[in-house]
Amino acid sequence: MAKVQRSAFVCQSCGAVSTRWAGKCASCGEWNTIVEEAAAAQPPGTGLARAARGRVIPLEPLQGATEEAARIPTGLAELDRVTGGGIVPGSALLIGGEPGIGKSTLLLQLAASLARRGQRIIYFSGEEAAAQVRLRAERLGLAQAPVALAPETNLANILATLADGRPPDLVIVDSIQTLWVDGLESAPGTVGQVRAATQALVRFAKAERSALMLVGHVTKDGQIAGPKVIEHMVDTVLYFEGDRGHAYRILRAVKNRFGATDEIGVFEMATDGLREVANPSELFLGDRDGVSPGAAVFAGVEGTRPILVEIQALVAPSSLGTPRRAAVGWDSGRLAMILAVLEARCGVSFAQHDVYLNVAGGLKVAEPAADLAAAAALLSSLSGIALPSDRVFFGEISLSGAVRATAHMTTRLREAQKLGFKSAVLPQAGEIEEQGLKLSMSRVSHLKELAAALPACH
Ligand code: TYD
Ligand code: MG
């Protein structure tokens, strides 16, 4: 009987496989992301038939001798912080981000920093020609660093190069979406190709104890497979984010088998590459005049590090039937919730007003603890009364209007005091180590108290 060539329809965004094409992926809900791929995309050796005749493997107890993972410090303190103290040999790390955010710049700086300290680094550039990478190195003042460079996209060639000579300490592949594997029919960048290439590279890294760093582009249109489809195959996943209109870049760990997640590294994109920002609060507070209504400073914590950031609100009479609500750097669902709570529990109506909320400096705030600062900014803008410029806010608001305790309350207060803030509005509940804290604290248990106190707080 003739073998029927079967094909699968794979969502390039989430990797879900279906038997027929559809405009919208049933799994992740993205539109236009489903692409036909040859069914042979399944990597060899994963078929059930092969697993049938296995050998018995020795089972081990949980307890036993373990060695602390050795680490290569990167020389970039912010990167060390995010990875949990440096790169672990034999581990695979994925760094995702939108095109143009600075992934290649970061990796070139990392490669140069390690190469200068005697490590063997190979940089496979699938996206840029050697001349382009050289140009960037020159611009960054790193052209002298002994990084081995190869513009290559064929996986077989890459593996052969890696097997030649002493195994490198670090292999960089920029980007995983440009690689192609012989024998797979689908185009480079499709889920099948990206997965097969990652699998082979990870296998090499584990066997030779080379660290592996893969660049993965995040794309909105889903034409190429996103980093999501290989997140489960690597040890560490970092996302590089930022707003292209701003110079700040944030490196965030979303998965880390060798350290904590939600630690962030802060960089600033300058003309001579990425600079580390050791004190991000000063950066995000920026120039504040302290007289305009609608600005409130949120004392946030990212990972273990406190970050103070200004939350700005603009509440203006609306001429529209359905007033506008927009949030930049904050979840718009969260904004809608705060507005609803203010209306239902505190009797403050925004129904006739357009509402805009912005997190200064291009930072994205995900902490629920920012609720109270956002509410303060909204109330301040609505009432036209500026908040004292030396006051910080934090606290999570529940649907009942109650202000809930948040984690790291003392850390937030200490950072605010360090930066010269004089007062704080924070939840009634929750423990604080008051030792050495000179800030005047007003503790609130319900959002109503904030709403009532606002006209008086000038
Ligand atoms: P790049 O690292 O190429 O981004 P990615 O690899 O994530 O696509 O850097 C992109 C941008 O950074 C580019 O638009 C120019 C800017 N840039 C600087 O501002 N300063 C610099 O020193 C460098 C190298 C780049
Ligand atoms: Mg790049």
pLDDT tens digits, one per residue of 280-290:
887 777 667 66
Q: Report which ligand 1 atom has the smallest distance to the Cα of 140.
A: 22
Percentage with pLDDT > 90 across the chain: 58
Ligand that lies nearest to the alpha carbon of residue 103, given by its number in the listed order:
1
What pLDDT score was predicted for residue 43?
53
Q: Report which ligand 1 atom has the smallest distance to the Cα of 273.
A: 22
Q: Report which ligand 1 atom has the smallest distance to the Cα of 247.
A: 19
Q: Report which ligand 1 atom has the smallest distance to the Cα of 98.
A: 7
Residue 87 C-alpha to ligand 1 middle, in angstroms? 23
Residue 125 C-alpha to ligand 1 middle, in angstroms? 15
274 CB under 6 A from ligand 1?
no
Q: What pLDDT band is residue 46 in, cutting at 50, 70 and 90?
A: low
What pLDDT score was predicted for residue 39?
65
Q: Which residue has a Cα nearest atom 1 of ligand 1?
A: 102
Q: Report which ligand 1 atom has the smallest distance to the Cα of 105.
A: 2
Q: For the segment 318-330, what is each residue's pLDDT rounded down to a tens digit?
A: 998 899 999 999 9
245 CB under 6 A from ligand 1?
no
What pLDDT score was predicted for residue 69?
67
Ligand 1, pocket-test mutation among 128, 246, 269, 271, most atoms within 8 A of CB: 269
99 CB under 6 A from ligand 1?
yes
Residue 248 C-alpha to ligand 2 middle, in angstroms? 17
Mean of pLDDT over the chain: 88
List the structure tokens of 223: 């034409």
Can you tell me the mean pLDDT for 293-303?
Answer: 91
Ligand 2 ion: Cβ-proximal residues, 5 Å cutoff: 104
CA 122, 126, 127, 130: dihedral to nearest 10 degrees? 50
Residue 395 C-alpha to ligand 2 middle, in angstroms? 39
What pLDDT score was predicted for residue 18?
87
**Sign, CA torsion 392/398/401/404:** negative
Percentage with pLDDT > 70 across the chain: 92
Q: Considering only residues 259 and 412, tell me which one the structure prediction assigns the higher pLDDT.
A: 412
What pLDDT score was predicted for residue 457?
38
Ligand that lies nearest to the alpha carbon of residue 99, given by its number in the listed order:
1
Can you tell me the mean pLDDT for 75-92?
Answer: 92
Q: For the segment 147-201, what is each residue's pLDDT rounded down to a tens digit?
A: 999 999 999 999 999 999 899 999 999 989 999 998 888 888 888 899 999 999 9
What pLDDT score was predicted for residue 327?
96
- pLDDT beyond 50 at 115: yes
Return all residues near 61 (Cβ < 8 A) that are at least 6 apart: none
Can you tell me the mean pLDDT for 218-242?
Answer: 80
What pLDDT score was predicted for residue 222?
52
Q: Report which ligand 1 atom has the smallest distance to the Cα of 174.
A: 6
Residue 245 C-alpha to ligand 1 middle, in angstroms? 13
Q: Which residue has a Cα nearest atom 20 of ligand 1?
A: 271
Q: What pLDDT band is residue 260 in, cutting at 50, 70 and 90?
A: confident
Residue 151 C-alpha to ligand 2 middle, in angstroms? 13
What pLDDT score was predicted for residue 41?
46
Ligand that lies nearest to the alpha carbon of residue 273, given by its number in the listed order:
1
246 CB under 6 A from ligand 1?
no
Residue 138 C-alpha to ligand 1 middle, in angstroms? 13
Ligand that lies nearest to the alpha carbon of residue 174, given by its number in the listed order:
2
Residue 44 C-alpha to ligand 2 middle, in angstroms? 30
What pLDDT score was predicted for residue 221?
60
Q: What pLDDT band is residue 442 in, cutting at 50, 70 and 90?
A: very high
Q: Report which ligand 1 atom has the smallest distance to the Cα of 175.
A: 6
What pLDDT score was predicted for residue 289?
67
- pLDDT beyond 80 at 204: yes
97 CB under 6 A from ligand 1?
yes
Q: Considering only residues 215 and 287, tell me which one the structure prediction assigns the higher pLDDT.
A: 215
Can you tell me the mean pLDDT for 419-444?
Answer: 92
Residue 104 C-alpha to ligand 1 middle, in angstroms? 7
Residues 344, 337 contacting (CB under 8 angstroms): no
What pLDDT score was predicted for residue 458?
33
Model-level pTM?
0.78
Range of weakest confidence among 4-18, 254-268, 339-353: 4-18
